[in-house]
Structure 1
């Protein structure tokens, strides 16, 4: 018997509703940016330990404005911290939805592969009696192994 990790019937109306909700989300969060890989690598990252340091530092600086030069940009950093705190719950939910979506996609693909492998096995066993040799040969390309050319021995 084939596996069946998930049975899912997604209607056109559900897809439309989900896409509309994503559009509304994109419209609600118009300030989100995209970074290219080089920018992402160059930026200093704020992990959990760093976040505690940053929060404490901004708090102390906010309580002692006499030591801060105007060029530091404390107000901008404080506003960024507020924005981060507001954005995180949204991103957490999106992350959970994305993970569930990816897991569902994996399960659906696995269910499909399981049935297809079993069906291919049936074609191999009894397909020739049903005139399905050409179809089986065409499908066999999935399992064809490519030969590796051996690397010459290093000197």
Structure 2
């Protein structure tokens, strides 16, 4: 892995400021929609491979308005294209941030889980000789009970 150990913290104020900044981002995007699975399925999709097609169609529409029906709104096509381009740029930035937050969470989660497993091992060992630790060891051991049961309750395949 490319990191050694994550040392960082977020104060309650930091978290609130980040949430406020995210709310400001949402306020700047009042036109965002939430689509149902069915709505998503029915839509014609524009992916990366379609970008040149869409760009060329916008240029063709702007240059050849006379071949389009009078009801076709070329300006709306241009606005939609510009919005799609801007949202794509924002999405890439947001995905990069999301990936970094996700990777950092996974790494720091691994660190804290590894350390917790070490603590559990020491508590289990010490609980045999140190009064009062048996309950703590049992409490910590609850995390692994379902794992042990699922292995022992499986019936052999004939």
Q: By the TM > 0.5 criterion, same fold?
A: yes
State the superposition RMSD in angstroms.
2.3
Structure 2: any 5+ residue segments left out of the alignment? none
Post-superposition Cα deviations, 1:48-92, rounded to whole Å, max 9, x if no partner, equal 221211211221122111211134444322210011222233222
Gaps of at least 5 residues in structure 1 are none
Q: Does 1:143 align with 2:144?
A: yes
Q: 1:4·1:111 contact (CA, 8 Å) conserved in 2?
A: no
Using structure 1 for the length normalisation, give the TM-score.
Answer: 0.84
Match of 1:52 in 2: 52
Q: Deviations over 1:19-38 (max 9, x none)?
A: 12112111111111111222
Structure number with higher relative contact order (C-alpha < 8 Å, ≥ 6 residues apart): 1
TM-score scaled by length of structure 2: 0.83
Distance 2:66 2:28 in 1: 37
CA distance in 1, matches of 2:25, 2:10: 21
Where does residue 79 of structure 1 map in the other structure? 79
How far 1:150 sits from its partner (Å)?
Answer: 3.7
Render the CA deviation track for 1:118-145: whole Å, top value 9, x for unaligned: 1111122222211211221222121222
Alpha-carbon deviations, 1:89-109, whole Å to 9, x = none?
322222222111111211221
